[in-house]
Every structure is written in C-alpha cells, then in structure tokens.
A and B are shown apart, each in its own frame.
Chain A
Amino acid sequence: MKSIRTGYYIHEGLRSIFTHGLMSFASVFIIVACLIIMGSFSLLAVNVGKIIGEFESENVILAYVDDSYSVEQGRGLGAQIEAIPNVRSAQFVSRDEAWETFTSKFEDTSRFENVDSSVIPHRFSIYVDDVELMAQTQRSIADIHGIAKVNANLLIAKGFVTIRNIVSGVSIALVAILLVISMFIMSNTIKLATFERREEIAIMKVVGATNSFIRWPFVFEGFILGLLGALFAFVAQWGIYVVVTDAIIKGQSAGFIQTIPFARAAPALCAVFVLIGLIVGVIGSSVAIRKYLKV
C-alpha cells in the first residue's frame, strides 16, 4: 500500500510540475537566483575570512623584556606569556638576535660601528588566536613582572575585526532575506497549483482522503522544484566562482590575494544549497496547501 501511495504522490507531483510549466520554471529560476546570491556572499565571506586570517597571523604583539634581565631570565618569561589565554605562541628574540636582524637590513653597517646590541631589549614576538581580544591580551602580557613594554597594533586588529564582522553580517542578513523571498515565491507557485485544483481537493476531502494524502503530492512538487533549483544553482555558482577567482588571480601580479579553490568549498556549498532548496520547496508547499485542508 505504501509503495502504491508513494508512486501516486510522485506521479501527481511530477504531473503538477509539468501542468504548471511556466510557474515551475519561475520557481526554479527564483531559487537559483537567490541561492547564487546567497552562495556568492557566503563564498566572499569565507574568502575574506581566509585573507583576514592570513593578515591576522602576521599581526604580531611585541613584548619588550626589562633591560636588567639576562637572556636566560628573559627566555624564562616565555612560559608565563604562553599561559595567557588567546596567546598561540611566543617566540623569544634576544637583543643580539634582534640587533642582527635589524642591522642585516642595511647594506652599509658602518653607521652602527659605535653602537651595540645593548641599546635594544630582549623581546617576544607573540601571535594570538583572536585579534578581537588583542587589547585584553596586551594588558595581560604587560602585567607580567619583567615585561617593560608591550606594542600591539590595535588599530589594524580592530580594522580586521570590523571588515570581518561587516562581511559576515551582510552575508547573514542577505541569506535570511533571500531565504524568505524564495519561500514566499515557492509558496505562491504551489498556491496557484492548489487553486486550480481546489475542486479536486474538495472532492478528495468528501470521499474521505486524509490531509496527508492530499498534501504529499504538493510537498513532493515543492521538493522536486527545490532540489532542481539547488542543483542548477550549484553548477552556475561553480562556473561563476571559477571565472571570478581566475580574473582576480590573473589581475594581480604579486599573488597578494589567494582564494579558496572551489573544490574545497564545493561539498559544504552543495549540501547547503540542497538543504536550503528542500527547505524552501517543502515549507513553501506546505504553507500553500494548508488553507485548502481546513474543511
């Protein structure tokens, strides 16, 4: 009995898709358009996150050790620094190493003849996990006895956080708005199908069809339209992403911006597209059929 019913649901759902071909096409088209916009912003957010992450990893806090500390004493502070939450790593640089690094940047070292490494202190190059907590981390490091001064570029860190938050916020808002729009359009499409078949539905009710029996073909119709929309959108998104990222990479000679390969984002993107397509299709059709079942 179940397989007969499933066959009936599928048959009726498909029949309705072809009977209302233009509206079905419109629904799929709208889902594709909305998913591509959602997908593009999501991919943009992921890429911006990656680029910011790379910049963040370069954003180092410099902690200078008290002048009176020897190399061994200074190195000993490393454990205390690494114990601070948000500190990913702390690399000790002695004054001699720092001096060498500094002077090696100049071809003419004669100007440093009367100066030695004692003019600069030992230091730690500290990398953090989350730049948003940089100020707090800076204060914690400064509180360690033996640390004379801490330099952190808070303005840049704040800039990274702001960019990341804006991109994430805009992406989330757009995804939410487009989700509602897709669902509304899908619901209207199915409403049109149900309106045309309202007599049929009324007869089904009179002869004793259950609500689920009446509802399932419409839900299946929404399911198929949602799935088709998701798959078309995925293929289109793939093409768009490859074209755009190729253009970005070719447009810059220094290789400054590295984008995520589509293959890496594809499984998650495909899953999200299918999930959203199905949610839009199934919920949209369920909402549309509801009022005809209240007899």
Chain B
Amino acid sequence: MVRLHDVFKTYPNGTKALRGVTFSLESGEFAFLVGPSGSGKSTVIRMLIGEIAPTEGGIVVSGFDLTTIKPRKLPYLRRRVGVIFQDFRLIDKKTVHDNIAFAMRAVGASVKEIRRRVPYVLDLVGLDAKAKSYPPELSGGEQQRVAIARALVNNPDLIVADEPTGNLDPARSLEILTLLQKINELGTTVLVVTHEKSLVDKLSRRVIAIDDGRIISDGTGGYYGYEEY
C-alpha cells in the first residue's frame, strides 16, 4: 500500500527534513507515525499526498510511483488517499451533508452515488442526525468526525490523519481514534500522525517513530521508550 525507500528531502532553503526514511504499510494495516515537532512527520504526509516530491529515494502509494508521477495524475492519487487535518478544514457555509457531498462532487460522482454514499458514511461516523447542521454548530469532536467522513466518502485505500486529535480533549480524542480503528477494521489502511503518547500506548498498535528525519524505531505495542514525541 505504502512504500518509502531511503527517502531524503532537502527543502530549497537547505533544511534537511528527511534523511533516508524507509518504511512500508501493508494493505489494511493501522499504524502511528510519532515524533517531535520538526522531526519530519509533516514532510512524510505531504509526500504521501503528492504535495512535494522526495529529493532522493522512492515512494509508492496505492500503486502510484511518486518519484515519477506527472502533475495531471496527482488528482487520481489523491482520490486513493483520504486526509484528515488537525484543524478539520471544513467549509463553514456548507452543511455537514454538503461538506461530504462536496468531496464526492469534486471527483465527479453522480447525484445518485452521492445520495447513496453520504448517509452511509454519516451513519458510520455517528453523525446521521447532524446532516443538516453547519460546522460551527458542532463540537470539535463532531467536526473531526465530519472530516473523517469526508476523507472516507470516496472510498480511499489509505487514510492519513495528521494530528487528528490535536484540538480535542482526551475523551474526544479516544473516540476519534476508536473510529479510525473501526474504519481500519472495514479494510482501509490508516496512518495516524500524532505526538499524544498516552493515546498511542492505549491503542497498542504499530508505532513508527521519527526524529531528525530518520526512523528511530518501528514496532507494535507502544511508544518504545521514546518519551518526547
């Protein structure tokens, strides 16, 4: 599903963000990517959705080789990768239903497909009763669930969540991660970027730790002695 092989990234200002990152995610896997600020987590995410290209090394996501991908092919990669952001990035002027339907329209889905799929994902994230509400009327946890529904609605192979619980209290954070686990159990590969140690430990899933642009540990069960991510 995801393969990073000896990936280096140096930004035009000389910052070395990644220094030989190698890891892979199999289809249907759930993993955390942890690390302190500036460790290279965001660079990995930006690469996975084709926003930036690696300076060296190889990346393959859902069958797309991101070292050689042409700009006109990027939308088709992005349809295979659902992204969830810390700040939700919902359109306040659209209802919950329309925020999700908008993501389907953007990829050219038919009205019939939208009518069938949106209620399904709203039900999946437990927001079917809030379909007509607007984002500012919802709590942070509910807004993030709308964002998850939007990421899920086009049936992606991979969901990348960038600090999805960063703006939520611990109880809501656990709810969101539980929801992401549920989505993973339905077959979608999930990569969660976070620095919330307690949550990572509680879920006891695979944890990939990155620091200073290098993978420093990769295993299942907890944070592996890495205290400050």
Contacts and interface: CB of A to CB of B under 8 A. Distances in A.
Interface of A: 1, 4-5, 8, 199-200, 202-211, 213-214, 295
Contacts of A210: 72, 75
B120 interface: no
- Give the residue among B80, B108, B110 with the most A Cβ atoms within 10 A: B108
Contacts of A1: 108, 110
Given A203-B89, A207-B150, A214-B106, 4 more contacts: A4-B110, A204-B102, A209-B107, A211-B75
A209 B110 contact: no
Given A4-B111, A209-B106, A203 B91 contact: yes
Contacts of A203: 89, 91, 102-103, 106
B75 A208 contact: yes
Contacts, number: 52
Given A200-B91, A206-B49, A207-B150, A8 B105 contact: yes
Given A8-B105, A199-B89, A207 B110 contact: no
Interface in B29-83: 49, 51, 72, 75-80, 82-83
Interface string B80-93: 10110000010100
A213 B78 CA distance: 14
B110 A205 contact: no
B194 interface: no
A295 B51 contact: yes
Interface string B104-145: 011110110000000000000000000000000000000000
B108 A5 contact: yes
A208 B89 contact: no
A101 to B, nearest CB: 79
Given A5-B108, A8-B105, A200-B91, A208 B83 contact: no
Contact of B78 (A5, A199, A205): A205
B23 to A, nearest CB: 23
Contacts of A4: 108, 110-111
A207 B111 CA distance: 17
A159 B83 CA distance: 73
B154 interface: yes
Interface of B: 49, 51, 72, 75-80, 82-83, 89, 91, 102-103, 105-108, 110-111, 150, 154
Given A199-B89, A199-B91, A295-B51, A206 B78 contact: yes
Contact of A208 (B51, B79, B110): B79
13 contacts: A1-B108, A1-B110, A203-B102, A203-B103, A204-B102, A206-B78, A207-B78, A207-B106, A208-B75, A208-B78, A208-B107, A208-B154, A210-B75
A213 B106 contact: yes
A207 B108 contact: no
A222 B218 CA distance: 53
A191 B89 CA distance: 21
B97 to A, nearest CB: 15
Contact of B83 (A5, A200, A206, A295): A206
A207 B154 contact: yes
Contacts of B102: 203-204
A151 to B, nearest CB: 71
B193 to A, nearest CB: 15
B108 A213 contact: yes
A1 B105 CA distance: 11
A213 B159 CA distance: 23
A207 B160 CA distance: 12
A204 B106 contact: yes
A24 B219 CA distance: 58
Contacts of B76: 208
Contacts of B107: 207-209
A215 to B, nearest CB: 12
Nearest to B112: A4
A1 B77 CA distance: 21
Contacts of B49: 206
Among the interface residues A8, A202, A204, A214, which one has the most CB atoms of the partner chain B within 10 A?
Answer: A204
A72 to B, nearest CB: 81
Q: Residue among A5, A199, A207 with the most chain B CB within 10 A?
A: A207
B112 to A, nearest CB: 10
Nearest to A209: B106
Nearest to B81: A208
A245 to B, nearest CB: 51
Contacts of A200: 91
Contacts of B91: 199-200, 203
B107 to A, nearest CB: 5
Nearest to A19: B93
